[in-house]
Amino acid sequence: MANSAPIPLNEASRLSRISHMGLLDSAADDVLDHIVEMVAHYFEAPVALVSIISEHRQWFRAGTGLDERETPREISFCAYSILSHDIFQVPDALHDKRFKDNPMVAGEPYIRFYAGVPLVTADGLALGTLCIIDSKPRAPLEGRDMSMLEMYGQLVMKRLNNLRNSNYVDQPTGLFNRLRLEEDIMALTDRDNYALVALDMVDPLFLDSIVRALGYSFSQELVKCMIDSCREQLPPDTALYKVSPTRIALLTRHAAPEQAEQLFRKLIKHFQRPLVCRNIPIQMDVGIGVLPLGLGKHDERDWIRLVVSAADEARGKATGWRWYEPHLDFAQQRAFLLLASLADAVRSPDQLSLAFQPRLEVSTGRVVTVEALLRWQHPVLGPISPAEFIPLAEKTALIRSLSLWVLRHAVQQARTWQQQGYAFKVAMNVSAIDLANSQFSDALFEQLAISGLDPGRFELEFTESALCANPEITRQQLERLRALNIDIAIDDFGTGYSNWTYLRQLPATTVKLDKSLVENLDANEKDRRLVEAIVDLARRLGYRVVAEGAETEDVYEILCQLGCHEVQGYLIARPMPPGALEHWMNGERTAKVRELRALGH
């Protein structure tokens, strides 16, 4: 039987380095293949191999003259070679007690001669060998041949390091990549004294707009300018890592948070000035996230995610920098969970539903419109507020699916009420994405045709933000809808630009005052004057005015005095399922109307 080689004293470090260098998972390399062919040719050896010694196997990273790609470590000649930094030679294996019974000596490839030079890292870890093998015994290598084998071994090691570096360097920027960052963190012996810092240099959407306006080459040059500008503010030996197209990371050692924050203040102040690229000034929007590596026991796979989360929060809240806080990460993970679950909810028969809130006409006490409001009952988390999941959906393509779901069910419910003799309209909200092309309008026309609903019994509410991206396309879509006698309401009016110059050109029929303008009318004189001016101008331009957020009798009375046509809010009724709304319409509404009409007069 073969005698297994002893285990090196630095085995754990050696195996860790093999793993981090990716030596066992790498594809074939033409350069290494060419080197072993040169070695075989020079030494006139039938077999030449680059062998990496792992925990239980030896793997042939490159080779010539041997079909096998691996063998057990216990029968490996190379396992002996890594025990020393000198060339290991076996002139005749049949006369060496360590190998005479080795199956690779007694059988294929019938090894008799072996010479291997260890492949050693700069810090002294032998990863494997470059070896030559012959099926005939030979005299030991001497002099020039020994030197040549050592030089070939050095050449192999240089190539392995180059391959490693290419795996760890982002080619467009020359920065280290995420893989190298993770390895460098793992190599820290006093990790608790370090913090991982991520610089979110610019909003990715803004970078996309730069690509569209100035081209991809400019955006690439801008990223390099960002990196160079950042380097100017950092100690010269600071290693930078690219972790996303617009984010770079670094490791900082500090004794106290105050020391680190001096650097962050310096960076934020520096990037408050526009960055000049090709003589074009570009305003940066930097957010810095900081994760103390000694804070908790985070999985190394989470380091970058956590620090990027903190950087996103810092830029989004314009705080400059932000230390990682567990509750922020919880919010990020919840947002991700909700988005993932929302896609399933759209397909589920029982998670999504509609509630309807009535709008009361002040002059008659009639309910002229009910607003369809989306509700989500998560199977595990319970009810999820629309204020939480709608903004998340609006950042993704999911908002289209949600809008189409609401459209189908709102039209169906409006058709049911039409058949039952109710005279009110059903209103639903649409997003800016819904009005960016004809997809939503086409779907609405199709639903109206299928259901037989009178288009005059339907209303769409859109916010002013829908006009910001592309006013012309939005106007075209609204005109298509209005041509079918569908009412159009401008929702949340008073919170956005409220630009009458273009709003008056839209085919809208209604202006809905935002709740934030209405709720303090009885206590805030400025709000009252503002609402009075908006109502007066809207009425002059022919809009119907609806006030949202009426929750007290005093506010309702003021809205009536200011001339609002309709009022919506908890004082009138809360959002209700269809059955509850029908019950309210047939009973409680009458008493509520009498009560409110007394206030209004």
The set of residues, in sequence order, having a beta carbon less than 8 Å from that of 22 and lying 6+ positions away, is 163, 164, 167
Q: Say which CATH topology domain 11-167 has.
A: Beta-Lactamase (3.30.450)
- The phi, psi pair for 85, rounded to 5°, reads -90, 0
CATH class of 178-324: alpha beta
The kind and range of the H/E element at 562 are helix 553-562
Please list the residues that pair with 134 across neighbouring strands: 113
Other C-beta atoms closer than 10 Å to the C-beta of 296 total: 11
* The one-letter amino acid at 382: G
- The phi, psi pair for 426, rounded to 5°, reads -115, 130
Determine contact, residues 453/414, Cβ cutoff 8 Å. yes
Q: Say which CATH topology domain 335-600 has.
A: TIM Barrel (3.20.20)
Q: What is the largest CA-CA distance in the chain?
A: 117
Q: How many CA atoms lie within 13 A of 104 on its CB side?
A: 23
Other C-beta atoms closer than 10 Å to the C-beta of 509 total: 15
DSSP classification of residue 110: -
Q: Which two tokens stand for residue 189?
A: 């012996």
Report the candidate in 415, 407, 406, 413 with the shortest Cα–Cα distance to residue 352.
406
Let me know the angle formed at the C-alpha of 503 by 500 and 506, rounded to the nearest 5 degrees: 150
Distance CA 199, CA 42 (A): 52
Distance CA 430, CA 466 (A): 9
pLDDT along the chain (601 residues), means of 10: 81 86 80 96 96 94 92 94 95 94 92 96 93 96 95 96 81 83 81 86 80 85 88 86 87 73 86 88 87 67 80 81 76 80 90 95 91 94 91 85 94 95 94 86 94 94 72 85 92 66 76 87 86 89 90 89 92 93 82 66 51
Q: Which two tokens stand for residue 330?
A: 């919880």
Radius of gyration of the chain (CA): 36
Distance CA 57, CA 101 (A): 19
State the pLDDT at residue 467.
65
Q: How far is CA 476 from the centre of its chain?
A: 33
**SS3 state of residue 338:** helix
**SS3 state of residue 357:** strand
Distance CA 437, CA 191 (A): 52
Determine contact, residues 241/229, Cβ cutoff 8 Å. no
* The one-letter amino acid at 453: L
Domain-wise residue ranges, the chain: 11-167, 178-324, 335-600
Report the candidate in 372, 383, 529, 523 with the shortest Cα–Cα distance to residue 458.
372
Please list the residues that pair with 378 across neighbouring strands: 382
Determine contact, residues 542/559, Cβ cutoff 8 Å. no
For 116: left if phi > 0, alpha if psi spans -120 to 50, otherwise beta; the answer is: beta
Q: Which residue has the tokens 């119907």?
A: 544
SS3 content of the chain, % helix, strand, coil (to 5): 45, 20, 30
Handedness of CA 64, 68, 74, 75 (dihedral sign): negative
State the pLDDT at residue 468.
61
Distance CA 292, CA 194 (A): 6
Please report which residue ranges of 88-233 form alpha helices under DSSP H. 103-106, 143-168, 178-187, 204-214, 216-232
Report the candidate in 394, 473, 397, 395 with the shortest Cα–Cα distance to residue 441.
473
